[in-house]
Amino acid sequence: MPSPGHDQGPVRPPYQEALARVIADVIEPGAAETDAQGSFPRKQLDALAEAGILGLTVPAGLGGGGAGLREAAHVVRELGAACGSTAMVVTMHYAATAALTAANAEMAAAGGMAGVLGDIAAGRHLSTLAFSESGSRSHFWAPLGTAALEDEGQGVRLDASKSWVTSAGHADSYVWSSRPLAAEGPMTLWLVPRDAEGLSVAGPFDGLGLRGNASAPMSADGLRVPRTAMIGQDGAGLDLAMAAVLPVFLICTASMSAGLMRRLAEETAAHLQRTQLKHLGQSLARQVQPRAQLARLRIEADRAWSLIEGTLGAVEQGRADAQLLVLEVKAAAGEAAADAADLALRACGGAAFRKESPVERLFRDSRAARVMAPTTDALYDFIGRALCGLPLLGEPA
């Protein structure tokens, strides 16, 4: 019987070797402390940057790894098995990178985003998304924050109360949503540098899980960026977000959950095998109930990853059901992770409750995917609308 990994065949591409090394040397050893302290995994990200993982998805023409969604998903899954906080930060970095890359293609004439993408490719720059706001909450498609021209059209003033920014205060830039400057449409995107005047972080993050991901509120109070900080066209930010950012975010978040589940299955199997009931002279693995719980947990892990692989295939082949599957993966994997974590907690019993294994941390981390926008409930609504031929957003007419 194989070790409970997701065997991908005999050959591993070079980035996976590098990634495995960083995980073994830096990320896995630091995960417990990152969680306990709620500290941003800076050292871990530096190691990933150096190994080329943070530049992996930047086009080769801009100096990056030239990898696609499939590789991004694999990276985040491996990270998710080791340290959810790091996985989350990288997910947001890949999502932001996708926005910049997509915009760069259409903005090439204007110089575009080549500079920042080059920095990302070189491992010198961590980016993230700043979408959700305290006014519209998880409905990220409806920003209330504003953008206004200043300085005779050279500068732009941004004002907003962002509610939930991963890597807040630690990222080098924020892909920032606002209402449009002048155009029709729901949203415009901006590249906001970390040192922009008027930008502030509301305080440290103290959450149930992913405790190192620095998901804090941020506010922009008269924040100034140059006009060229606009990513894509004015008013076209939601289209860009839906087409370029959402697939990366949803698939990577799902992959984080898949990695978490794989780890839960490994930890649970190990616990059942090594823990003795001394009065019976046998291990917990001889008990029918925890064994069945382990089985169900492993099924959750395997079908979550299978759905992600199926989705990657559909996207790569341009299949008609690709968009639908993209909408499904995060909801499916996020809910499965919650169920799986309860199965692990039950199978491992008090030992897991008392933090004698990573299961307790993974249990807390498992609830993050569900509440990140788009939440599970929002995704169910999108999927149901898609299947009924209704528009994804807005009141059905």
Between residue 211 and residue 250, which ones bind a copy of itself under the rule CB under 8 A? 215
Tell me the closest approach of the beta carbon of residue 285 to a copy of itself, in angstroms. 4
Query: Residues 336, 261: contact at Cβ < 8 Å?
Result: yes
Residues in the chain: 397
> What Rg do the C-alpha atoms of the chain give, in angstroms?
21
Residue in 114, 302, 357, 393 binding a copy of itself, rule: CB under 8 A: 302
Residue in 265, 326, 343, 344 binding a copy of itself, rule: CB under 8 A: 265
Q: What are phi and psi of 192, to 5 degrees?
A: -105, 120
Q: Tell me which residues in 146-205 interact with a copy of itself (CB under 8 A).
A: 163-164, 205
Q: How many residues line the site for a copy of itself (CB under 8 A)?
A: 102
Residue in 67, 332, 343, 362 binding a copy of itself, rule: CB under 8 A: 332
Binding part of the chain for a copy of itself, among 15-23, 66-74, 150-158, 384-392 by CB under 8 A, reads 384-392
Residue in 323, 337, 357, 358 binding a copy of itself, rule: CB under 8 A: 323
Q: Tell me which residues in 17-76 interact with a copy of itself (CB under 8 A).
A: none
Tell me the closest approach of the beta carbon of residue 87 to a copy of itself, in angstroms. 16
Does residue number 304 form part of the binding site for a copy of itself (CB under 8 A)?
Answer: yes
CB proximity list for 42: less than 8 A, separation 6 or greater: 170
Query: Residues 215, 164: contact at Cβ < 8 Å?
Result: yes
Binding part of the chain for a copy of itself, among 54-62, 152-160, 242-250, 360-368 by CB under 8 A, reads 360-368
* Of residues 244 and 341, the one with the C-beta less far from a copy of itself: 341
DSSP state for residue 57 in the 8-state scheme: T
Tell me the closest approach of the beta carbon of residue 120 to a copy of itself, in angstroms. 27
The terminus-to-terminus CA distance of the chain in angstroms comes to: 55
* Of residues 181 and 314, the one with the C-beta less far from a copy of itself: 314
Neighbours of 181 (CB within 10 A): 17
Tell me the closest approach of the beta carbon of residue 107 to a copy of itself, in angstroms. 28
CA atoms of 253 and 75, how far apart (whole Å): 11
3-state SS, residue 358: coil
Question: From the centroid of its chain, how far is CA 60?
Answer: 23
Neighbours of 391 (CB within 10 A): 11
Residue position matching structure tokens 């719980």: 293
Tell me the closest approach of the beta carbon of residue 40 to a copy of itself, in angstroms. 16
Residue position matching structure tokens 């959810």: 84
* Of residues 243 and 299, the one with the C-beta less far from a copy of itself: 299
Tell me the closest approach of the beta carbon of residue 6 to a copy of itself, in angstroms. 7
Binding part of the chain for a copy of itself, among 27-35, 73-81, 255-263, 289-297 by CB under 8 A, reads 289-297
Residue in 185, 202, 364, 393 binding a copy of itself, rule: CB under 8 A: 364
Query: Residues 95, 245: contact at Cβ < 8 Å?
Result: yes
* Of residues 25 and 321, the one with the C-beta less far from a copy of itself: 321
CB proximity list for 14: less than 8 A, separation 6 or greater: none
* Of residues 97 and 167, the one with the C-beta less far from a copy of itself: 167
Q: What are phi and psi of 346, to 5 degrees?
A: -70, -45
Run of H or E including 147: strand 146-150
At 170, list the tokens: 């630690």
Does residue number 325 form part of the binding site for a copy of itself (CB under 8 A)?
Answer: yes
